[in-house]
Every structure is written in C-alpha cells, then in structure tokens.
Structure 1
C-alpha cells in the first residue's frame, strides 16, 4: 500500500494536538506545511518528524506540491476561502468543521468540489469514534430490534471561544448535531427552549426524525462545566445502549425468560471499553475520540477516489439542521 502524502494549512493548537499526530498514526507522510510564518511552518515540520517543505504562502504550496490531499485546520472565518482555493487547485481536501457558516455557504463549496471532481471531507470525528461506530452497528444491525428513542447530553465550558448561541451551536454542539444525523437520519420536527446569558448557554431540544425516532438533547456551554461531558442513550424494541464519555458502551438485551427478572440473576449487560495502558501515551484519546479514524478514512478516500462518510455534500444538511435548531429555540 502506497503512503498517502498530505500537505497542511495551519498549525495551531487543535491541529498540532489532534490532527497532525492522528494523520501520522494513520500512516500519512507530511510533505509540506503552510502557515503565515515560515519559521513556524519549519518548526511544525520538525516537531512532527517531517522532512517536508515549509511555506508562508499556501497558494505557492498548492502550486508546487504534488500531495494526495490537503488538510485545512484554520480559523472558522478563513476556512471557506482556503477550501475553495484548494478545490480550484484540483486538490482533495479535509477541513475541520464547520465548512461554511450556514447551509448556502456549505452548498457552494460542496458544488465546487463535485464540479472539480475532488474529495471534500469535513472533520466530524465523532462519526469515526469506536463507541459511536459500535452504536451505529446496533442501530442498523437490528440485534436489539428497532431504535425508538434517544437521550443525549453534551456539556462543556465553551465560553473562551463561543460568545453567543450561534457560535456555540456551530463550533461546539455541532459535533452532536452531526452525530445524531449520522445515527438517526434527517430530523423532520424540532422544538426547544433556551436559557442564555451571553456566552453562558443552556438548551433543551426535542427532535423527531423521518424514521419515527424521537429524542431529547441537553446542551450546555457554561463555565460550570469545566469538565467536558457527553453521553447518548438509545432505547430499542428489545433493550437499550448507553454510550458514556466516549470510552464506554453498555448494551442491555431485555430479558425474554419465562420467570420474573427479580427471581434470579438473569439480567445481563455487555460493556465495551478500551484497555488502559501507560504505553498508550496520548494516542489512546486520539483513537477513542475518532481523530485517527477520520484521518485514515480521508486517506482511503484520497487513494481510492471515494466519497467520505462526512462529505461536503452531507455537511450541508448538518449546517441546515444547526440553523433549524437555532430557529426553533424559544
């Protein structure tokens, strides 16, 4: 299998902490990095053990480098123009969310990528997290019967980077919004309530999906949640499954024995968890959160010309759902 060569635009905290190490774990070769400062680009190459070329002009990098794909991890307000330039240069592109600040902006980029015949993938890493991939298998596989309802929670201190409700929805909560689409399909009815004080945000949302699945979501972007937390429980015809903090999935099959459940030790739960080891270093988190999986998927799509699971076209519907939720909040 040939190594996939990737060029990068951006080397900020998120890129350096999550994206670069995950690309290396997935087997990528970093051929070039472009930032606004040549020395910063050179330092990033050295940090990640690459002998690639540093740039302070991404347009020149796009012209000079023959990479299999370009990874864009920049400020949200810059990403659309950067992605469009990559597309016009005929490059496959991975871009961190959000791609476009709303549905129309996302649609423009998805159209451009399809017209250019290039891969366009958006960084919704939760789709590639093992716990949610396992949950998706349960939903589509039918081993617990049909999925009927869900309850989700996502809470984080988003106040340093989200100053209002729209920023919170599109820079933080968007991962759960996209995850719900990945698991359940398209929402057809939305209602919700909000209790906000500028950057301090609390939301309660109810959704019904086209397949009949209903559920509720609790979002909090408040300084009170200094410990980021998330969970998702799905109720099926014959049991339930609880995904907890990205590291555990508990699956319960409802009892079908003839006796009453409290008369014996018949109840059973299956718990899926990763092993823990000092040898994992920081890589355990990158795998469990889905960062390595998404980079591996992007590389496969570049190599084989496939449409990503989290494609630019699919991203349009996620941005539309974010706006629909914001419009429904009272």
Structure 2
C-alpha cells in the first residue's frame, strides 16, 4: 500500500508521548506539524525525525499541504472547533477523544462529515488494545456462548485535570464507556451512585443493554490511585473471561460432561499474555494500550475507503451514554 501522509495539529505531552510515536510505528509519514508556536512545531518535527514543514497556524497548514488527513491532538476545549474547521476544508480527520462535549456537538460533527464527504475517526484506543480485541473475538465467535454479565473497574488519579464528575466522565472514563458499548451494544437502563469529596470521585453504575447483558461499572478518580488500574470480568453461558490490567487475559471454559468435578480434568483455562522484556522499550506500552492499533486502522481506512469503526456517527452514541450516566447520578 502507498505511504500515508498526515498533517498533525498539537504537540503536547499526550501527543508527543503516545500519538507521534504510534503514528511512526504505524507507518505514517508526518508531513507537517502545527502548534501555536513555530519553535515548538520545529522542535516536534526534529524530535520525531520528520523532514516536514512547521506551522504556527493550522488553517495555513491545511491549505498549503497535500495530505490524506489531519490528526488533531489539541486541548479538549479546542478540538471540537478545530476538527469542524478541518472537516469543512474537506480533510479526513482523526481526533483524540472527546470529539464534542455532548450529543449536540457530536451530531454537528457527523453532519459536517457527511456534507463534506470526509472520514472522521475518534481516538477510542481501547477498541484496539489487544486484550479487548481478543474479548471482542470471543463474544462474536460465541465460543463460550452468549455473554450474560460483566464487571469493570477503572481507577486513576485524574484530579490534576478532572475537577468534577463531568470532566472525569468525558476526559478519562469515556474510554471505558465507549469500550462497553463496543463490546456489548447499546444501553437501555442506567442507575448510578457516587461518593465524592471535591475532585476526588467515586462512582458505581448498574447498566442493562438491549442484548439483555447486565453490567456493573466502578470508577474512581482519587489521589489514592497514583497507579492506574483497569480490570474486566465477563460471565458467559459456558465460562468466563478476565482481563487484568490490559496485560493478561484468562479464558475459562467450564466442563461439559456429567463427571464429578474432581474426577477428571475437564475444565480448561487459557492464559494470554504479551511477550516482552525490559528491552521491548516503550513501544510495548503503545501496542498494549491500543494507540498503534487505532492509527493503523485510520491509515487503512484512508487507503481502502472504509468507514472507521469509531466514526463520527458512532461517537454520538458514546456521548449520549456519557450524559445518561452523569444524569443517573443526580
């Protein structure tokens, strides 16, 4: 396939730590970078080995450069308007979450993408994390029967950038919220409870899905969680699956015969873990968390004309669920 040339807007910590290295690993050529400061744009190009052009005005970059798409990784409050401008200028766009702060803004983005016949992908990287792609494969193959229920826990110290529940849901927990939609479908009922002290947030949600699946979600954003934690357990008809800290999956298949449980070895556990040592370097993390996978997917969609799986229309449903969960706490 031909090389994909993309222009980039933003070069902050997240972009520099996760997005640019993943783009290079995905085989994407950094054609140009625009930030608010020309010096910072040149510095980013040099850091990531690009011979592209530096800009301090993204509109000038878009009008000057020939590229297949634009990657927007700016401040959350700026991304919606920047992405909308890029779409109106006829550019395919990859935007880190959140794309829009609510259903209304998500719908405006979707309508603009349709009107201008461009592709829009939202950066929900957990859909591309190997542990969750494995779980999605198990669900769709029905190897363990139908999923019936799940429990997911996500805890992190989000207090430096999440000062209230809406910030936390839409800037951090949104990845898990999008993930459960991706795995189990649309939600019909939500009830929620919280126990917050200022920006220290603790939340529990119970959800029921159109498919009949029921789930329990635990979120915490507190200084107590200086070490981020993420775990999921899914119960199927014929076994269960546990994902531990995105590094390990245990697939348990229950016994299928009438022998007493201790009379024969009929139950089966399969354990999947990534190969890696300290010599694997930081790229191991970029693969496991899904950053490389999402950018590879965007590049592939640009080459084939496919609609990304985390597209602008799909993003509407994720933003609706975010607000539904927030409203359940009131």
In the superposition, the TM-score normalised over structure 2's length comes to 0.99
Q: Distance in 2 between matches of 1:261 and 1:184?
A: 31
Deviation sequence 1:164-210 (CA, Å, 0-9, x none): 00000000100000000000000000001011112100001000000
Residue 205 in structure 1 maps to residue 205 in structure 2: yes
Deviation sequence 1:14-62 (CA, Å, 0-9, x none): 0000000000000000010000110100000000000000000111001
Deviation sequence 1:231-277 (CA, Å, 0-9, x none): 11110000000011111110000011321112344432100110012
State the match for 1:13 in structure 2. 13
State the match for 1:261 in structure 2. 261
State the match for 1:99 in structure 2. 99
Task: Quote how far apart the aligned CAs of 1:88 are.
Answer: 1.1
Task: Quote how far apart the aligned CAs of 1:301 are.
Answer: 1.1
Residue 131 in structure 1 maps to residue 113 in structure 2: no
Q: Distance in 2 between matches of 1:148 and 1:265?
A: 25
Q: Distance in 2 between matches of 1:232 and 1:117?
A: 38
Q: Distance in 2 between matches of 1:252 and 1:114?
A: 44
State the match for 1:316 in structure 2. 316
Q: Distance in 2 between matches of 1:278 and 1:190?
A: 42
Q: Distance in 2 between matches of 1:84 and 1:101?
A: 13
Q: Distance in 1 between matches of 2:257 and 2:300?
A: 46
Q: CA RMSD in A?
A: 0.8
SS of 1:262 mapped into structure 2: coil
Alignment of 1:1-330 (within 5 A): 1-330=1-330
Q: Distance in 2 between matches of 1:133 and 1:160?
A: 30
**4+ residue segments displaced more than 6 Å:** none
Q: Which runs of 5+ in 1 are unaligned?
A: none
Q: Distance in 1 between matches of 2:28 and 2:221?
A: 34
Q: Which runs of 5+ in 2 are unaligned?
A: none
Number of equivalences:
330
Task: Quote how far apart the aligned CAs of 1:133 are.
Answer: 0.4
SS of 2:303 mapped into structure 1: helix
Structure 1 window deviating more from structure 2 (266-275 vs 114-123): it is: 266-275
Q: Distance in 2 between matches of 1:89 and 1:279?
A: 43
In the superposition, the TM-score normalised over structure 1's length comes to 0.99
Structure 1 window deviating more from structure 2 (253-262 vs 82-91): it is: 253-262
Structure 1 window deviating more from structure 2 (29-38 vs 274-283): it is: 274-283
**Aligned 8 A contact 2:256 2:266 in 1:** no
SS of 1:152 mapped into structure 2: strand
Q: Distance in 2 between matches of 1:192 and 1:278?
A: 41
Q: Distance in 2 between matches of 1:307 and 1:267?
A: 41
SS of 1:144 mapped into structure 2: coil
Deviation sequence 1:71-93 (CA, Å, 0-9, x none): 00001110011001110111100
Deviation sequence 1:203-238 (CA, Å, 0-9, x none): 010000000000100000011111100011110000
Q: Distance in 1 between matches of 2:260 and 2:225?
A: 41
SS of 2:160 mapped into structure 1: coil
SS of 1:118 mapped into structure 2: coil
